[in-house]
Amino acid sequence: MATYYDIHTHNTAARTGTLSIVALYEQFSSAYGYPACSIGLHPWYLQDHEAGMRELEQYASSPNVLAIGECGMDKVCDTDLQLQARVFEQQVALAQRIGKPLVIHCVRAYDEVLAILSRERVTVPVIFHGFNKKKSIADILVSKGYYLSFGSALLKEGTPAIEVLREIPAEKFFLETDSSGLSIADIYAKATEIRKTTEDAIILQLTENFKTVFNR
């Protein structure tokens, strides 16, 4: 059993005592090279989305692919928003069909993402990664049963992520490194400080959260 769970990272280096879910947005055949990964079409990179979806469907059921994503919508990037919505819907449907969690990338598109999740009647676990938005948004997401994952924003003074992590129910959060280059141990240490608890308590809780969401 791992000590730390890094549920979303682009760092492919193995780390002792850590189960890292490596996020891939292309070349999904390389998923076999990782003990655990997630695969999904990122809204930034949808230039060849039809071929990407075919490849995603081919590898999504692999045992070491723990989730679909990161996928979602991003109003800051240049990708056509209607295309983003369509490809996101396809990935939501895939996750539902194979029974795997969704890891969501969402930038200024919470209304649109939530509408799609509602319309598709999503029943698989949903994780909004890299969360750093105000508490009112967090409250809506948690009220719908979704999970939030926190990363490098916790180490920056005064970020919304800090306030949200302080108050979020213990069974509804994860920690991640994303593309920050930070150690997941540093993220755990900061979360311990923010929640005014012990690292052992964080480790035990996130181990349980991981088992619940990823069925492992």
Query: What is the SS3 string spanning 112-179?
Result: HHHHHHHHCCCCCCEEECCCCCCHHHHHHHHHCCCEEEECHHHHCCCCHHHHHHHHCCHHHEEECCEC
Q: Whose CA is closest to 67, among 91, 33, 32?
A: 91
pLDDT digits (tens, 9 = 90+) for 161-206: 999 999 999 999 999 999 999 999 999 999 999 999 999 999 999 9
pLDDT of 54 reads 97
pLDDT of 66 reads 98
Which domains can be identified in the chain, with CATH numbers?
4-214 (3.20.20.140)
Token code pair at residue 50: 């039809």
Where residue 27 falls (left for φ over 0; alpha for ψ -120 to 50; beta otherwise) is left
Total-model pTM: 0.97
Q: What does the alpha-carbon distance between residue 98 and residue 157 come to, in Å, rounded to a whole number?
A: 40
Q: What does the alpha-carbon distance between residue 162 and residue 155 come to, in Å, rounded to a whole number?
A: 9
What is the length of the chain? Answer: 216
Q: Please provide the average confidence, as pLDDT, over all residues in the chain.
A: 97
Chain centroid to CA 192: 20
Torsion of CA 69, 166, 162, 197, to 10 degrees: -100
Chain centroid to CA 155: 19
pLDDT digits (tens, 9 = 90+) for 34-74: 999 999 999 999 999 999 999 999 999 999 999 999 999 99
Strand order in the sheet with 173-175: 4-9, 18-24, 37-39, 65-74, 102-107, 126-128, 147-150, 173-175
pLDDT of 173 reads 98
pLDDT of 2 reads 83
Q: What does the alpha-carbon distance between residue 142 and residue 111 come to, in Å, rounded to a whole number?
A: 15
